[in-house]
Amino acid sequence: MEPNLELVAAETASTIAELMCFDEDGIDEIRMAIIEACLNAFEHSHSPERKVYITFHILPDRLILEVTDHGKGFNPSDVRPPSIDEAVRGGRKRGWGFKLMRSLMDEVMIETGSWGTTVRMTKMKRRGGGCYDR
The full set of domains in the chain, from first to last, is 5-124 (3.30.565.10)
Phi/psi at 119 (nearest 5 deg)?
-105, 120
Q: Decide which of 99 and 17 is more confident.
A: 17
User: 130: alpha, beta or left, given left = phi > 0 and alpha = psi -120 to 50?
Assistant: left
Contact 108, 119 (CB under 8 A): yes
Contact assessment for residue 34 and residue 43, using Cβ atoms and an 8 Å cutoff: no
User: Which has the higher per-residue pLDDT, 120 or 77?
Assistant: 120
More confident residue, 124 or 116: 124
Report how far apart, in Å, the C-alpha atoms of 23 and of each of 1, 5, 59, 94, 125 are. Answer: 31, 24, 16, 29, 9
Q: What mean pLDDT, rounded, does the chain reach?
A: 86
Nearest-angstrom CA–CA distance, 126 and 1: 35
| CB-count exposure of residue 83 (10 Å: 0-12, 13-18, 19+) | exposed
Closest CA to 31 of 73, 89, 22: 22
Model pTM score? 0.83
The 10s digit of each residue's pLDDT in 36-92 is 999 989 888 888 888 999 999 999 999 999 999 998 877 666 666 666 666 567 655
H or E stretch at 14: helix 5-19
